Amino acid sequence: MKMICPSILSADFSELKNQIHKAEKGGADIIHCDIMDGNFVPNISFGPRIVSDVNNITELPLDVHLMINSPENFIDDFYKAGADFISVHYENNDHLNRTIFQIKDKGIKAGVVLNPATPVFMLEDIIEYADYVLIMSVNPGFGGQKFIPNCINKIKQLKELISSNNPDCLIEIDGGVGPENIKEISDAGADMIVCGSSVFNTPDITESVRNLKSIIS
Ligand code: DX5
Ligand code: ZN
């Protein structure tokens, strides 16, 4: 099943409850929460307290994308806040295997994230343990950036790696996705598709989600 995961990074936080409900109404599958520390990425977003508030206003699963250094120190906090999926970056994890199992041991889904310049083959020794892989299709830090085209190729390479090592592993794509490119991304093999500004920076959030979903169903 193809899933639309609206990223609340682009939402109006004074209207968060309303806007999440509008996204739900359009058929959103998962709420994507971008956690940034101003250190691993050049922006600061929000922490476990907001994730916990979001968890109280929606029944949808929460996908927490950690763009922070020392993510292993915060797994427990985000788990308690209600995360159903937690992903950590390959690039700042010296003990990725340990971190992935720290997440899985909570009974939730564990994901590995690759920045645009990190090749898919770096996953060879972790892929069998990952529940999902997130391919960044922009340099992480901000919503509203332009999709980096070679990510389509990375999705295809990842699909191959997954088919021979861990067929249940899901592929997530994040950054610069909108109605103009979502079909190509979905056809390449993405299962979880993050959409920030193409959902929340539009005049009709419900209709935008509905439209994105209809293109890939
Ligand atoms: C970027 C974040 C993305 C971002 C996507 O660092 O990880 O989730 O919010 O936003 P759009 O869809 O606007 O590129
Ligand atoms: Zn994200």
Nearest CA among 187, 188, 177 for reference residue 212: 177
User: Which residues, at least 6 apart from 36, have a Cβ–Cβ distance to it below 8 Å?
Assistant: 43, 44, 45, 67, 68, 140, 141
Q: CA-to-CA distance for 53 and 157, rounded, in angstroms? A: 37
Q: Report the separation in Å between the CA atom of 5 and the middle of ligand 2, taken as the mean of its atom positions.
A: 9
Please give the share of the chain, as a percent, with pLDDT higher than 70.
Answer: 100
Q: Which CATH number fits domain 3-216: 3.40.50.2030, 3.40.50.300, 3.30.1330.60, 3.20.20.70?
A: 3.20.20.70
Phi, psi dihedral angles at 63 (to 5 degrees): -110, 110
Model pTM above 0.85: yes
Given this model, what pLDDT does residue 180 score? 98
Q: Report the separation in Å between the CA atom of 124 and the middle of ligand 1, taken as the mean of its atom positions.
A: 26
Q: CA-to-CA distance for 49 and 112, rounded, in angstroms? A: 23
Mean pLDDT of 192-203: 98
Split at pLDDT 50, 70, 90, the class of 132 is very high
The reply to whether ligand 1 has any atom less than 6 angstroms from the CB of 181 is no
Q: CA-to-CA distance for 98 and 61, rounded, in angstroms? A: 24
Domain map (residue ranges) of the chain: 3-216
**What does the pLDDT look like over 105-123, one tens digit per residue?**
999 999 999 999 999 999 9
Q: Report the separation in Å between the CA atom of 121 and the middle of ligand 2, taken as the mean of its atom positions.
A: 21
125 has catalytic annotation: no
The reply to whether ligand 1 has any atom less than 6 angstroms from the CB of 193 is no
Please give the share of the chain, as a percent, with pLDDT higher than 90.
Answer: 100
Looking only at the bridges linking them, the beta strands covering 109-114 and 132-136 are parallel
- C-beta neighbour count of 4 within 10 angstroms: 27
Q: Which residue has the tokens 């920045």?
A: 115
What size, in residues, is the chain?
A: 217
**What does the pLDDT look like over 150-160, one tens digit per residue?**
999 999 999 99
